[in-house]
Amino acid sequence: MKSQQAASPPTGYNSFKTINRMERITENKKISFFFKRQTNTIADNTQAQNNIQSICQEEEQLNNWALILELADRLSRSEPESREAVKSLKKLIKLNNNQPIQIRAIRLTVILLLNSSDRFRLLVLKKLLHVLQELYNKSSKSAHKQPIQDILTQSLAILAYEFQDDQDLSAFTHYYNKIKPSYAPLNGTPLLESDPGLFTPPVHSNSTTQQDQLYQHEQEGLRETMPMMRDVKAEAEVARSNARLLIEALAFTSPAEMEANAIIQEFHSKCLQSQNQLMDDIPWATEQAARARTYYAQHAPGGPTQQGGRNGGGQGEEHCEMNGMASREEQLLSLLLSANSELVDAFRQHDELERLARNEREVRLVEERSRLETRLDPRAAAAAGWLDPHDHYPHQPHASGSSSNASPRPSLDRDSPPIHPRHSDSSPLSSTSAALQPQQQQHPQKGYTLGDDDHRSSTDSEFYARPSSPGPPISHLPEQDHMLVNPPSEPSEKALGKMRRYSGRSSSFLAAPSTRDPLSIDYHPSSHSSHIP
């Protein structure tokens, strides 16, 4: 049986070439269609990239709000355009070394985020947030890149405030709270739409409604209550330094030199200015610390607004800050209170030294006036009745009987009146007194003589002075004449007991012969300076 074979094609016909040619035609059609679609997509993406590059190249294009808002509308509708726009912004922010272009790219990113859909916002959060973080870290280490750091801080503050209640976009808020300055409020600052700022188009006054005016009034009041953009921490450190320098200067300055010391006066003035500034900053810092405690209490583990696992990249640092002893705001408040306490201590020491200087000045004035007023002649003072004419010390007639138990020490010229005995002139007392009187005139005491320490009282600290030249005796005051009493011939035991000088020698008086009056010893001029065995 013969096998059946396919009929061979006619001569001159090549079937394989025809089939291959048809397959190539079909494949070319598919490739051309694919390339047509890809060309259209690239053209659309190139238009978005061109718009972004043209806006970032010139400052005037960044003020073309019609073009920017039209671009934001296209990015909200097309996901491929959103991806290409994010790539273009990333390239301009990260790889470009021109600071003005970087600043314009950051501003354009914030404007597109505020005016586009959530799809573009999530792409920026995923692709650009870590780029912004790296750029902020680099700019904070270099003073040359300070403008980039400022625009990043301002941009993140606006994004943090706008997206703080959005669970998907709250990563902007978390990152801003970590890098914000100590003077900045928590959770960012609001976007003032009524002001022609960096991220909002200018608003014409004729199109402002009543609600816009009310909102503008509220925002202006909020801006007035917030302190100016300054580094409060640096001011507190300056205040502490001034207080410590003032305390150190006061420690090495005497009270008399304080008023003439220019350094003390300068630092005292600086401390007053610093305290006035702290009085304005402390209430604001107290309010910020209270808001920080409320925020960290809400975002603590197990809190009402605890974040999920998607935003847990910076959650470790956030937990460390929340679980620490104090937040940034509380640390700033503690620093302000500490600086104010040191200023108060410095002012207290300054006032104390000033009081001592004032007291010393008053004492010097009193001493100078006292030296001028009391520099007088002793004779003139005695004539005025200030000094005793014989003993040259102040005469106090009312203080002679200061104690009822102690008898005054007998004195020849001052305390003892002249004795006028009633018995005859032949008595031993009268003869002895008459003999003693010429002896006193012939041998006057010169200089100062001190009595015997063994026979006088311990409380008797007086010394007796005698005139250096003989002269007529000075008569006693007339009011003492009626007090003269003639003593008895012999002293009584009561009188001898009151006389402390002779209380231990009373037996010698009793044993003395009756022909001599023992009282004559008291009136002998040498009894104050000679010792009787």
pLDDT, one tens digit per residue, over 377-430 is: 566 656 655 555 454 444 444 444 444 444 444 444 444 444 444 444 444 444
Domain count of the fold of the chain: 3
DSSP structure string for 144-157: GGHHHHHHHHHHHH
In this prediction the pTM is 0.41
- Tell me: do 255 and 195 sit in the same domain: no
Indicate the range of 97-106, 108-117, 365-374 predicted with least confidence: 365-374
Residues 4-32: tens digit of each pLDDT: 555 555 555 555 566 666 676 666 666 65
- Tell me: do 186 and 302 sit in the same domain: no
- Tell me: do 241 and 343 sit in the same domain: yes
| Residue 268 vs residue 485, higher pLDDT | 268
Indicate the range of 48-57, 119-128, 294-303, 315-324 predicted with least confidence: 315-324
- Tell me: do 156 and 280 sit in the same domain: no
Q: Which tokens sit at 160? A: 């943090």
- How many separate helices (H) and strands (E) can be counted in the chain? 18, 2
- Tell me: do 431 and 321 sit in the same domain: no
Name the band, by pLDDT with cuts 50, 70 and 90, for residue 340: very high
SS (H, E, C) 410-466: CCCCCCCCCCCCCCCCCCHHHHHHHHHHHHHHHCCCCCEECCCCCCCCCCCCCCEEC
Domain that holds residue 134: 15-203
In a domain, 254, yes or no: yes
- Tell me: do 244 and 336 sit in the same domain: yes
- Tell me: do 95 and 179 sit in the same domain: yes
Q: Which tokens sit at 404? A: 């009822």
Name the band, by pLDDT with cuts 50, 70 and 90, for residue 297: confident
CA distance 37 to 43: 10
Tell me, what's the pLDDT at 499? 62
In a domain, 313, yes or no: yes
- Does residue 436 carry a pLDDT above 80? no
- Tell me: do 133 and 236 sit in the same domain: no
Domain boundary pick from 342, 374, 406: 374
Tell me, what's the pLDDT at 329? 79
In a domain, 455, yes or no: no
Within 206-256, where are the H helices?
Answer: 210-225, 232-251
Output the CA angle 474-477-479, nearest 5 degrees.
Answer: 160
| Domain harbouring 190, CATH code | 1.25.40.90
Q: What is the mean pLDDT of residues 197-221?
A: 55
- Does residue 345 carry a pLDDT above 90? yes
- Tell me: do 132 and 22 sit in the same domain: yes
- Tell me: do 193 and 265 sit in the same domain: no
In a domain, 391, yes or no: no
In a domain, 404, yes or no: no
